[in-house]
Amino acid sequence: MLVSLADLRCVLFLFLHQCCDSRYDPTLVFNADPGEIFTIRNVANVVPPFVKNEDKKAETAHHGTCAAIEYAVKSLKVEAIVVLGHAQCGGCAHALSLFSPPAAATTTTSNEEEEKNNNNSSDDGSGYVDAWCGLIKESVKHVCAEYDKDERLRQLEHENVRRSVENVKTFPFVQERIAKGELKVRGGFFTIFSGGLSMMDEETKAFKRVKDIELSEEKAPPPAADAAAGVAADAAPAGKEEANPADPPQSAGTNKRQKRK
């Protein structure tokens, strides 16, 4: 039997990052069933900021992602939005290559510049990725000003989630449901190498490793929205940044399969 969209009380995961290049399955990460999570993917899990009506026809309106957010919040009545970044993000790496200051960017020769200009003059239809990554240009500038080259990619992956969470909150229909206590917006980060999930602390904006998001055998599975929102409450104590690739796998998906045996 098909379930109508109105019956779906989905959690909206803005896998604006599964960035199309993240490899994990959100239903396994968050211990959800098929259909419980409404997912959006785009390059680098970027949430564009809200634009006013008169600007919606502009090229910068980025209708696809914004339309999906509006649909999820207003029609599906999702109870939680999670912007989930991931390690080794190709979108963030590309943004770094595009917008790093000259001193940190790869030095190009005059011949390379000439070749680049020639390529630009013959329009092959590309340029969408570069234009999209322009949405995180300010984040690139920030991490380049604050961190050494080796740290910038991970810091950008985190900063991108922080700014996307803030951008979600710029939409009036999001603000309205937050004010009513009907919607929560959270940031998260997943490292597939270790199966490690981190959630962003709302106060400090730091990412804290979730030690155990498994539900106990005795505890009845809550609605998916509660499970997602509750991840932050299960996070490890402050002060420990996540992402130790040497950590043993501890994905919720593994726990879920064990639970259902």
- The DSSP line for 181-197 is T--EEEEEEEETTTTEE
Q: Which is nearer to Zn ion, 164 or 227 (CB)?
A: 164
Tokens of 58: 């502009």
Q: Is 10 exposed, middle or buried (0-12, 13-18, 19+ CB in 10 A)?
A: buried
Q: Which is nearer to Zn ion, 21 or 25 (CB)?
A: 21
CB of 17 to Zn ion, least distance (A): 5
Q: Select the residue interacting with Zn ion from 21, 201, 226, 247 (CB under 5 A).
A: 21
Q: Under a CB-based contact definition with an 8 Å cutoff, are residues 106 and 99 in contact?
A: no
Q: Does 70 bind Zn ion (CB under 5 A)?
A: no
Q: Does 188 bind Zn ion (CB under 5 A)?
A: no
CB of 62 to Zn ion, least distance (A): 17
Q: Select the residue interacting with Zn ion from 19, 46, 47, 66 (CB under 5 A).
A: 19
Q: Under a CB-based contact definition with an 8 Å cutoff, are residues 136 and 167 in contact?
A: no
The count of other CB atoms within 10 Å of the CB of residue 164 is: 29
Q: Does 129 bind Zn ion (CB under 5 A)?
A: no
Q: Does 88 bind Zn ion (CB under 5 A)?
A: no
Q: Does 89 bind Zn ion (CB under 5 A)?
A: yes
Q: Distance (Å, rounded) from C-alpha 251 to C-alpha 89?
A: 19
List of E strands, 118-237: 184-191, 196-200, 207-209
CB of 200 to Zn ion, least distance (A): 17
Q: Does 91 bind Zn ion (CB under 5 A)?
A: yes
Q: Does 228 bind Zn ion (CB under 5 A)?
A: no
Q: With CB under 5 A, what is the number of residues at the site for Zn ion?
A: 4
| Residues paired with residue 185 on neighbouring β-strands, in sequence order | 81
Q: Does 156 bind Zn ion (CB under 5 A)?
A: no
The residues that touch Zn ion, with contacts defined as CB under 5 A, are: 19, 21, 89, 91
